[in-house]
Chains A and B, each alone.
Chain A
Amino acid sequence: MLDVIVWIFIIIFSSAFLGSLIGLGGGFLMVPLLSVLLGLPIHEAIGLSLISIVGVSTSASLNYVVEGNVDFKLGSILEVASVLGAIAGANIALYTPSKMLFIVFGFTLVYIGLVMFRGGSKEKIERLPRIGRLKMLNGFVASFIAGLLSGLLGIGGGILKVPIMTLYLDVPMKIAIGTSEYMIAITSFTGSFIYLNAGKINIQYLGSAFLASVLGAQLGSRVSLRTEAYILRKIFAIVMMLFAFIMVLKGVSM
């Protein structure tokens, strides 16, 4: 038991640290590492990842909120769709066989890897634009899908939410990242509550998971100021393709 707790600490600390280096939660690293390397059941890996993301995103939000880089109005409106998506996603996941989840996660990782490899979108204007109703509707639907994937697969969904805001809604990158962190904290809370309540999370792992996520995110966000995120994103993209292949293979062979 103790060695599993130590391994969970190491995995979540490094995922939160590495994720924060490139402005993400790290759920896309936690679930494959916990389920493939440590051999935890995938439902438990997803639940633990979501709880850890609560720690990571709140820890990261701390800086964004204080610096005024969070648009609470836009985030709260889009978050209504994300929360509904997360509730649906987590409930679907509870009734979905592990085999299927491995395969879906694998293909989602391919998408995330491709987005990362292409790099972030260019910096847009530094003021908030007026958002039309049609654009808002698009953003609302896309946020629902992001929440659904978050509840279903245990990822924070920042990799989806940031492009939604920058590409669909023309929100400046800095504010999009800050707002998505605020949204992720609420989405992952809603999703993980369902896993926790369904008894899918071993609460003996909670301490090491939560502590590791808070510490990893704080360290990662401090180091990120002094590192070149561009190269890291490319390396992560390649690593993720490898994980995607392993997860699909594991799902198919189950």
Chain B
Amino acid sequence: MNSISNRRMVRYMLLISLVISSIVAVLVSLQDVLPLKYIFKVVYLIYLPSLTLLIIAFHNQFRRRDILGVSAIIILIVLIVFNILLGGVV
């Protein structure tokens, strides 16, 4: 997070993910009003900000060549993916 352009990019990434998630959450809530039943699973897009943070963390640790940090994030991603694949019950 050293250069100004990096900081700006991180800010935009998080802001955009928050905006997308808010829009998705509102659209999903309006499912009775809008014909959204075929894209119902879009509801999981509300987790976009958390995933964006994880990507930023991975990029940060990868750039620093920090093996322990990168390994921890990979374990986190594996745990999250297993949690998702197994339907929330590991």
Contacts and interface: CB of A to CB of B under 8 A. Distances in A.
Task: Verify that A and B bind, or say they do not.
Answer: yes
Chain B CB within 10 Å — which of A5, A76, A90, A214 has the most?
Answer: A76
Nearest to B89: A91
A214 B26 CA distance: 13
A44 interface: no
Chain A interface mostly: helix
A95 to B, nearest CB: 11
B57 A214 contact: no
Contact of B50 (A58, A70, A197, A205): A58
Interface in B26-67: 26-32, 43-44, 46-47, 49-54, 56-57, 60-61, 66
Contacts of A59: 18, 49
Interface stretch (A161-169, A188-196, A234-242): A188-196
A31 to B, nearest CB: 19
Given A66-B7, A76-B57, A197-B88, A83 B69 contact: no
A185 to B, nearest CB: 5
A72 B56 CA distance: 9
B79 A80 contact: yes
A204 interface: yes
Contacts of B31: 203-204
Interface of B: 1, 7, 10-11, 14-15, 17-18, 21-22, 25-32, 43-44, 46-47, 49-54, 56-57, 60-61, 66, 68-69, 72-73, 75-76, 79-80, 83-84, 87-90
Given A54-B47, A73-B72, A194-B89, 18 more contacts: A51-B46, A55-B18, A55-B22, A55-B49, A58-B18, A58-B52, A58-B53, A59-B18, A83-B79, A186-B54, A190-B80, A203-B31, A206-B29, A207-B26, A207-B29, A208-B29, A210-B25, A211-B22
